[in-house]
Amino acid sequence: MTDVVKDKKIVAVKGTSLWKDGLRRLKHRKFAMVCLVIILAYFAVTAFVYVAEFFNWQIRAVMWTEEVGPSYQPPDVKYVFGTDIFGQSVLRKTIYGAKTSITVALCASLISILIGVPLGAIAGYFRGVVDEIIVWIYSTLSSIPYILLILAFAVVLRDRTLFGFRLTGMVTVYLAIGLTSWVGICRLIRGEIIKHKDREYVLAARSYGSSNARIIFKQLLPNVFHLVIIDFSLRFVSFIHAEVILSFLGLGEADKPSWGAMINDARIELARGVWWQMAAATVAIFFISLALNIFGDALRDSLDPKLRMQ
């Protein structure tokens, strides 16, 4: 018996998972990898600012309050991006602004995934009345223009105390963006779950007695979760831009630097020929958005098998 097995040549064809396969394809796209490095650099800067603030490190790059030179010093070798009206370094403000923007975009993504994904899964899986109610909620939200909805939420939530927690600055911004942006992901997940719920693996899971919750969270969601990642790598950009607009309108962080607030300062400064604060914010936003856009597209092309077959 054992001899027979020994004689047969067993060629193990190793299957690759969707993720492995996708990542392999992604690695071949050099430009997308460059973009990933840029994105990671922004995240690293954010993490660094957090750590430095937490341990109260006296590192010059994060001490944006320090007066480094005269007011409105144009950019040169010593002052890379020049200084603002108070003589604070624009470069340091830009670095700190990265923290504000990335934090807002991350928290907003988290909130909208936490609302959108479960709601979409429940609606798609159970259908019936539950589905109708959830579809009604998101149809209502999506019938109001996006920017108006965010502004309405931001204006109302700002400086309000909810459940004993005072909403200020950044918290208002990401709550407003997060609470209004889950519609797209909810709709996407609902559609996907409807397609998946009668497939064999779900039937199999049901046949050996898995509960509905187990089927949704252990079987169905892992099979559609790559769509969430793709969607959010592209949506992240719009969150960053929304944060800029909200900060610009004075609905964001009040006394800490953010890219939107820097652009707001530039509104008056430009007439005096002070362009560097504006340019610094624009460049900072431009690189992260470009990297996210290109990387998100590459991620979608590599991870979505349906697109690949065409």
Query: With binding defined as CB under 8 A, does residue 175 bind another protein?
Result: no
Candidates 145, 163, 207, 255: give the one binding another protein (CB under 8 A). 145
Query: With binding defined as CB under 8 A, does residue 168 bind another protein?
Result: no
Q: Which residues contact 26 (CB under 8 A, 6 or more apart)?
A: 32, 33, 298, 299, 302, 303
Q: Which helix H or strand E contains 32, and what residues bound it? A: helix 30-54
CA dist 53 and 63 (Å) reads 9
Candidates 51, 85, 213, 249: give the one binding another protein (CB under 8 A). 249
CA dist 123 and 133 (Å) reads 8
Site string for another protein, 208-237 (x = CB under 8 A): -----------------------------x
* Residue 239 · residue 216 · CB < 8 Å: no
Other CB atoms within 10 Å distance of the CB of residue 129 = 8
Read off φ and ψ for residue 83, nearest 5 degrees.
Answer: -125, 165
Q: How far is the CB of 202 from another protein (least distance, A)?
A: 28
Query: With binding defined as CB under 8 A, does residue 150 bind another protein?
Result: no
Q: Which residues contact 256 (CB under 8 A, 6 or more apart)?
A: 96, 100, 169
Query: With binding defined as CB under 8 A, does residue 34 bind another protein?
Result: no
Q: How far is the CB of 15 from another protein (least distance, A)?
A: 29
CA dist 239 and 229 (Å) reads 15
Candidates 140, 199, 211, 214: give the one binding another protein (CB under 8 A). 140
Site string for another protein, 262-291 (x = CB under 8 A): -x--xx--xx---x--x--xx--xxx-xx-
* Amino acid present at 97: G
Number of chain residues interacting with another protein (CB under 8 A) = 47
Q: How far is the CB of 137 from another protein (least distance, A)?
A: 7
* Residue 81 · residue 257 · CB < 8 Å: no
The residue ranges that bind another protein (CB under 8 A) are 136-137, 139-141, 143-145, 147-149, 151-153, 155-157, 160, 162, 237, 241, 244-245, 248-251, 259-260, 263, 266-267, 270-271, 275, 278, 281-282, 285-287, 289-290, 293-294, 297, 310
